[in-house]
Structure 1
Amino acid sequence: MSRIRERVSSKSLACVNRLCEDLSMVRKRQAVVLIHGIGEQRPMDTLRSFVSGLGFKTYHSRPDRLSDSLELRRYTIPGTTRRPVTDCYELYWSHHFGRGKLLPTLGWAVRLLCRPRLWYHQGSLRNTIFAVLACGLVTAVFLGWLASLAMGRLTSTDIAGFVWVSIALLVLLVTAIFCSFITGRVAQAARYLVPHPANLPGRNAIRADGLKLLRRLHEDDRYERIILVGHSLGSVIGLDLLRLAWDELRQANPPKEFAQPEAEAMDRLIAQQPTMSGDLDIAAFQQAQYRLWKENRHVGVEWRISDFVTLGSPLTHASLLLDTRKVKLQQRMEEGEYPCCPPLPDPETIFLNKLCTSTNGEQRSVKVGMTHAPFGPTRWTNLYFPVRFALLGDPVGGPVASEFGPGVRDVPVRPSVSEARSRRYQMLMKSHSKYWVVEPGYPSSDRAVRKAQDQKTRTKDAHTMLLDALAL
């Protein structure tokens, strides 16, 4: 009888412990911060479509008490025994720039077109630009030919007039058709990416709003985990926020008594990675990053951003967009201004041993990540639509690992819609904004069907991989 009682009591205790763990998981919360891309975005439009595209049956709109903007709200996804309550916030920044000017934006675009790196290294972007320019030139020549015929000036002795008419028509065509697109969308990218004195107030205001939101999330004890999501130019803003916030939140305050074997394991793993271009077991590396993130939380480090997810990121062209006349991106990485994934050792480690004072006044030595190592404990997953035949797909996004290191998990994806609609999105170059769009019935619930599509297209389903990257 005593043995039976012991068995019953042990089973009851196990059930109680499991129930307590489930309840504690429900009480915990996690936050998703979405940073929208270029365009004259309106508050909440991107976040509303993003949360709707995640596919959860129930979510609620709640006041956003962490943002200073009265236009913003948060969406709360209820928790389950396996998923904590998830609050989704939007970092809205479009109002800091607004519409730009046509001539400065065209000047920035022309300077990019004149860079040798574009024509020698940026394969997909180069092909897309060449195809667009070729189409525009053919259209202008055709219109110039018609205009010259109408004016009766298409003769063998008046080729110069024909050329000038074609050039003038091309300029007018670009200005008339793309003026709104250039001033309302491309201008925002030019103003954020170029550190010209006139652009600094807007750049600093955007970063200040982002850092304020991240600080408040870290100060809110309800949140155990934060996921930062950047779409298009929002991924560049997100990278800036990561490197700036990491410097503030990377130290244990106050330090807690806990061993740090994962920090030592990360140092050994990075020491075995001689160059940024080497091969890396990305699954094992991201598991090590997550274990390090959990260990940092046990030690007392306030850093709660476990994942950085980028969608259609122009960081695939980082060397083209972030290089300046005097300083290359590679030099800025070596100097620690921009982080790599995995971090570059300095010279053999990415941690510093620091003496920190605990709450009871004791001095403890804690391994603290260096200022250039936010991707020690933070995983980076990048989703992109591959470019095919120069004009199909998303030429803005692409793989990022070649620029920032093999620790970035690059995933080529396809839209979660029917094949007919997917082709239409690609032909009209609209796929850039379709990373979280889901059509009813997609993705297929049959794993065998999805796997066959994966093998056929050499891509993954965008919705499935987005949920996998968020790991809610």
Structure 2
Amino acid sequence: MAQEKETAKSSTKATAKKKQAVVVIHGMGEQVPMDTLRSFVDTTWVTDENLIPRSRVDSNNGQQRVENPVWSKPDRRNRSFELHRITTEEAKNGVRTDFYEFYWAHLMQGTTWEHFKIWFVDLLWRSPKRVPKDVFKAWIALWIITVLIGIVMAVSLLPVDDLRQCLAGECDDAGCSASSLCWTWIGPVLGVIVSLVAGTFVNVFLLKYFGDVARYVKANPLNVARRQEIREKGVELLETLMGVRDFDPSTQKKGAPYPNWDTEYDRIIVVSHSLGTIVAYDILKASFARVNRYLNRSGQARKKQPARDELEKLIQDAIENSGSLDLEEYRRLQNLAWKELKENGSPWLVSDFITLGSPLTHAEFLLAHDNDDMRSQQEKRILPTCPPALEWDPKTKHQHFTYQVGANFSNGAYFRYPHHAAHFAFTRWTNIYSKSERILWGDIISGPLADHFDLSTPVARLQGILDIPVLPEQDIEGKPKGSVPFFTHTKYWNMDVRTGPNDNWAVPYHIHKLREAINLLDK
């Protein structure tokens, strides 16, 4: 009887209507818990009239709907009393959405000049050949500012003999003229002013914002513990939402029941901004590497991988024949392969990865020594690419992002497992950026990612990331359709930003593209 009840309980849980989760990962700086999430939810859910019919009454008061209500609920999965889960009613597709914030700013407290200096010196003291073209002007400007500050501070420290003589009562008319006294006082005062301005700039701006970048991207002994803690917390949240628990697939006996992952979600969307895109990239990499072999080994499940097979053939054909990838078809097959992966028992629920204002566009500048080093790390699967890195299979005579377990399979097309860095075969990557002009207009921190994280082979470069330029929209030739706003890095979900008369959508173009990328209706 007890076994029947347990079976019924499992059956009910399996057939219950699942929800989707959106995990938002904030960027650099002293972020306040929930601030990023609340403003993001306002833009992507509360004000989106396409999610719920206007004819449906407001769930709060039963009156005419003006906006889509949300509710903030305490949730143990965040493991923080500062953070709540923001939940919604059902959208018109019958699915409810839960929004979570992965908050990591508190783990970056205590950044010192020593943390920043190591990264800053490495940033400046490099060959111009190692500086990407899109940030070369900013790099030169940074050098000029640094040199000017150094000159002014050096001048302010020059000896002031005339002042010392006058204060000691030993000055004479020749040595203490009005002109010399004037310059005697200007030097120290200028030094104090420069010191105050430089100190304020370092403490209020550099350390609070770029100090996070310095500590996270630079793997030196001072930073390793913080990097590890941030990634561990991110993986912990993601695995909790996916219902992952420890499981060794190699010990699964034939005919033994495969674990049902205890989760109320069947889809997770990860959205990240600024430095948070690098954090998210690392979290996804670490998470997938822990579950890539969590697939059902039963005979029935092992034969069902048509989507994976079709996706690999698309990539193989692009390498061997066309030299380019049909991005629309690739993303369609990614989604089918992701669903198939779940059907085969995988707990991997991340359907989409969305990056906003991502510094990953400067990966060879931030994560590697230079472009050659970045490509080497990608080939070695240290830095995952989209499409994923491939390996040669002598049985199929093709390259795959999957492999077989065991040496007794003579058929190379038999059931295959994705390698540890193959998550972008199943998770679609959309990158939204704002092109920079004159350093401070647009977003110099962001840029396209498709040509930085593509699959690079000796005969072809296959790009699987969808890059979307916004603020402003660009025409087919890449020319802006409107004016470029001042410093757009923090404006990707700002409803009030417009880029001129061409930006005449009822909803701003950049908001429309953001909602389209998140795709809460899962169209």
Q: Verify same fold: TM over 0.5.
A: yes
Distance in 2 (CA, whole Å) between partners of 1:107 and 1:164 is: 29
Matched AA of 1:195: A
**What is residue 382 of structure 2 aligned with on the other side?**
337
**What is residue 260 of structure 1 aligned with on the other side?**
305
Distance in 1 (CA, whole Å) between partners of 2:149 and 2:190 is: 9
Q: Is 1:436 aligned to 2:436, yes or no?
A: no
Matched AA of 1:393: G
Matched AA of 2:216: Y
**What is residue 186 of structure 1 aligned with on the other side?**
210
Q: Which has the larger radius of gyration?
A: 2
How far does residue 136 in structure 1 lie from its aligned partner after superposition? Answer: 7.3
How far does residue 343 in structure 1 lie from its aligned partner after superposition? Answer: 0.9
CA gap of 1:151–1:372, structure 2 versus 1, over 3 A, is farther
How far does residue 280 in structure 1 lie from its aligned partner after superposition? Answer: 2.5
**What is residue 246 of structure 1 aligned with on the other side?**
288
Which region of structure 1 is more displaced relative to structure 2, 375-384 or 175-184? 175-184
CA gap of 1:439–1:269, structure 2 versus 1, over 3 A, is same
Q: 2:111 aligns with which of 100, 104, 113?
A: 100
Q: 1:196 aligns with which of 220, 239, 242?
A: 220
Distance in 1 (CA, whole Å) between partners of 2:191 and 2:499 is: 47
Q: Is 1:465 aligned to 2:475, yes or no?
A: no
Distance in 2 (CA, whole Å) between partners of 1:230 and 1:305 is: 13
SS of 1:241 mapped into structure 2:
helix
The answer on whether the counterparts of 2:471 and 2:485 sit within 8 Å (CA) in structure 1 is: no
CA gap of 1:398–1:26, structure 2 versus 1, over 3 A, is farther
Distance in 2 (CA, whole Å) between partners of 1:108 and 1:164 is: 31
Distance in 2 (CA, whole Å) between partners of 1:188 and 1:135 is: 21
Distance in 1 (CA, whole Å) between partners of 2:144 and 2:94 is: 51
Equivalent residue runs for 1:12-411 within 5 Å: 27-56=17-46, 57-82=68-93, 84-116=95-127, 121-131=131-141, 134=144, 173-219=197-243, 220-255=262-297, 257=301, 259-274=304-319, 279-324=324-369, 328-347=373-392, 348-354=399-405, 366-405=415-454, 406-411=463-468
The answer on whether the counterparts of 1:443 and 1:463 sit within 8 Å (CA) in structure 2 is: no
How far does residue 107 in structure 1 lie from its aligned partner after superposition? Answer: 3.5
Distance in 1 (CA, whole Å) between partners of 2:97 and 2:239 is: 18
Distance in 1 (CA, whole Å) between partners of 2:198 and 2:359 is: 23
SS of 1:243 mapped into structure 2:
helix
Matched AA of 1:69: S
CA gap of 1:366–1:31, structure 2 versus 1, over 3 A, is same
The percent identity for this pair of structures is 31
How far does residue 443 in structure 1 lie from its aligned partner after superposition? Answer: 10
How far does residue 353 in structure 1 lie from its aligned partner after superposition? Answer: 2.6
Distance in 2 (CA, whole Å) between partners of 1:25 and 1:426 is: 49
SS of 1:128 mapped into structure 2:
helix
Matched AA of 2:21: A
How far does residue 110 in structure 1 lie from its aligned partner after superposition? Answer: 2.4
> Cα deviation per residue 1:283-303 (whole Å; 9 max; x = unaligned)?
211111111111111222221
- Normalized per residue, which structure has more helix? 1
Distance in 2 (CA, whole Å) between partners of 1:221 and 1:434 is: 34
The answer on whether the counterparts of 1:193 and 1:322 sit within 8 Å (CA) in structure 2 is: yes
Which region of structure 1 is more displaced relative to structure 2, 203-212 or 266-275? 266-275
How far does residue 366 in structure 1 lie from its aligned partner after superposition? Answer: 3.0
Matched AA of 2:428: R
Aligned length: 415
Which region of structure 1 is more displaced relative to structure 2, 53-62 or 233-242? 53-62
> Cα deviation per residue 1:57-101 (whole Å; 9 max; x = unaligned)?
221111122121111101112222325111010111111111411
TM-score (structure 2 length as normaliser)? 0.70
> Cα deviation per residue 1:108-131 (whole Å; 9 max; x = unaligned)?
1121122226x5552222223334
Matched AA of 1:125: V
Unaligned stretches of 5+ residues in structure 2:
1-13, 47-67, 159-176, 244-261, 393-398, 407-413, 455-462, 474-481
> Cα deviation per residue 1:212-258 (whole Å; 9 max; x = unaligned)?
11111111421000011111111111111111111222234434536
TM-score (structure 1 length as normaliser)? 0.77
SS of 1:283 mapped into structure 2:
helix
Distance in 2 (CA, whole Å) between partners of 1:128 and 1:147 is: 29
**What is residue 14 of structure 1 aligned with on the other side?**
none
How far does residue 177 in structure 1 lie from its aligned partner after superposition? Answer: 2.7
The answer on whether the counterparts of 2:115 and 2:222 sit within 8 Å (CA) in structure 1 is: no
Matched AA of 1:240: D
Matched AA of 2:509: D
Distance in 2 (CA, whole Å) between partners of 1:126 and 1:171 is: 28
CA gap of 1:287–1:165, structure 2 versus 1, over 3 A, is farther
Distance in 1 (CA, whole Å) between partners of 2:325 and 2:104 is: 35
